[in-house]
A = this chain, B = another copy of it.
Amino acid sequence: MSHITKVKVHNYSAGPCILPQEVFEQAAQAVLDFEGSGLSILEISHRSKPFEAVMAKAQSLVKELLGAPEHYQVVFLGGGASLGFHMVPLNYMKVGGKSAYANTGEWATRAIKESKLVGDTVVVASSEDKNFSYIPKGFDIPADADYFHFTSNNTIFGTQWKQFPKSPIPVVCDMSSDIFSRPVNVADFALIYGGAQKNMGPAGATVYLFDPERLGATGRKLSPMLDLKNHGAKESMYNTPPVFAVYVSMLTMEWMKRMGGVAAIEKRNAVRAKLLYDAIDRLPVFRGTTAVEDRSVMNATFVLTDAALEPTFDALWKEAGISGIRGHRSLGGYRASMYNALPIESVQVLVDLMEEFARKHG
């Protein structure tokens, strides 16, 4: 294997996305030789003592970083949050019951579609009227629904719930794109879930953090593979877990802990976001695309006021080694995803370049 000669790339990919450099180095080492065992992390049994320790550590780090109540359980499953969209109504909607959803974008819409396949589904709030550019406020959650579901951060549109809605019923939240970016009060949630491939790790694992006492009350006979209660009881080992994705998630969570935990990370993320949003607001050649109060700290979406200049702007950031800031293919424009591991230096490079672009073309 060659010596590390990483080209300097500023990775703004919306996910899978940047993870800490030291995690890449630890992960690469473990692919060659896992903890001095002479075996690769890719060839060890998931039933081996060393991997059982990895799984237990990953589970406890999720709870520790988020300050979860002791009795909450953590499982890591394959299939992505998209499989979670299907599992949520199966595990939380009673037979003949109903669910309540907020629709704040593409992923919320997909979650709603999955719920409708299972049973009666009420959309109690939506920002679809303005192309999901804001977070709905002041809506009611019906007390007779079985659960309320929302998406805490909308990766594509660049909005984020700053205050979580008060709910008379159990709350389920897809936190795929901002989990571990800020403290949350876990006890307010029956279930928090999310694909690993933003702040937590590589693609291939989905984390479910849940109160087991809220499960098993639907009257529905479930496949054991889709039954959160079963996976919790089997300590995330009902079947072969995605070993490597769990291991890299554990490494990334250890890094978060070394960084001072989620509260410290939140402060650092706020500094980066202010740096970028200030530039968007200060420079008239750029325009933010979301309501200011709902701006995501993770994904900043913006456009050029003169779209004809896009090729010029694109050449500039590509030249600077920036990667992944084109907006989602459904939306166009730009999106700078600033997940936990993105260094502030990368944001400074982007802001400097925006300044330069504004001077020349403002």
A residues bordering B, Cβ < 8 Å?
1-2, 4-9, 11, 13-19, 24-25, 27-29, 31-33, 36-40, 42-48, 77-83, 85-86, 113-114, 117, 195, 197, 201-206, 221-226, 238-245, 248, 321, 323-324, 329
Contact B225 A85 (CB under 8 A): yes
| A27 and B44 form a contact (CB under 8 A) | no
CB pair B243 A204 closer than 8 Å: yes
A239 to B80, CA, bound (A): 7
Are A39 and B9 within 8 A (Cβ)?
yes
Residues of B within 8 A of A36 (CB): 7
Find chain B residues with CB under 8 A from A46 CB. Answer: 16, 203
> Are A82 and B204 neighbours in the complex by a CB distance under 8 Å?
no
> A222 → chain B, closest Cβ, in Å?
8
Task: Report whether A86 and B1 are in contact in the complex, using a CB–CB cutoff of 8 Å.
Answer: no
A115 to B18, CA, bound (A): 41
Question: Which of B27, B240, B248 contacts A15 (CB under 8 A)?
Answer: B240
> How far apart are A333's CB and chain B's nearest CB, in angstroms?
16
A16, B243: Cβ atoms under 8 Å? yes
The contact of A13 among B45, B114, B117, B241, by CB within 8 Å, is: B45
- Closest chain B CB from A55 CB (angstroms): 12
Q: Looking at the complex, which one of B1, B2, B78 makes contact with A79 (CB distance below 8 Å)?
A: B78
Interface of A is mostly: loop
> Shortest CB–CB separation between residue A81 and chain B, in angstroms?
8
- Is A195 within 8 A of B324, CB to CB? no
Chain B residues within 8 Å of A83, by CB: 78-79, 83, 225
Alpha-carbon distance between A244 and B245 when the two chains are bound, in angstroms: 8
* Cβ 8 A contact of A239, one of B6, B82, B222: B82
Contact B45 A29 (CB under 8 A): no
Give CA–CA (A18, B41) in the complex, Å: 10
Q: Across the interface, which residues of B come within 8 angstroms of A221, CB to CB?
A: 117
Q: Determine which residue in A47, A113, A329 has the highest number of CB atoms from chain B within 10 A of its CB, and name it.
A: A47
Q: Chain B residues near A248 (CB, 8 Å)?
A: 42
Candidates B38, B77, B225; contact of A86 at CB < 8 Å: B225
Indicate if the CB atoms of B80 and A240 lie closer than 8 Å.
Answer: yes
Shortest CB distance A327–B (Å) = 12
9 residue pairs from A and B, CB less than 8 Å apart: A2-B29, A5-B33, A6-B32, A24-B40, A77-B79, A78-B79, A86-B226, A244-B244, A244-B245
Known contacts A16-B45, A204-B242; 12 further A-B pairs (Cβ under 8 A): A1-B29, A2-B29, A6-B33, A9-B38, A25-B32, A39-B323, A46-B203, A79-B225, A114-B225, A197-B240, A204-B245, A244-B245
In contact, A4 and B7 (Cβ under 8 angstroms): no
Which residues of chain B are within 8 angstroms of A85 by Cβ–Cβ distance?
225
Q: B39 near A11 (CB under 8 angstroms)? A: yes
- Assess the A6–B80 pair: CB atoms within 8 A: no
Partner of A44, one of B16, B28, B33, B113: B16
- How far is B9's CA from A240's CA once the two chains are assembled, in angstroms? 22
Contacts of A11 in B (CB 8 A): 39, 43
CA distance A248 to B242 in the complex (A): 13
Q: By the criterion CB–CB under 8 Å, are B25 and A42 in contact?
A: no
A202 to B39, CA, bound (A): 13
Query: Would you call A203 and B28 a contact (CB within 8 A)?
Result: no
Complex: how many Å from CA A2 to CA B35?
Answer: 12
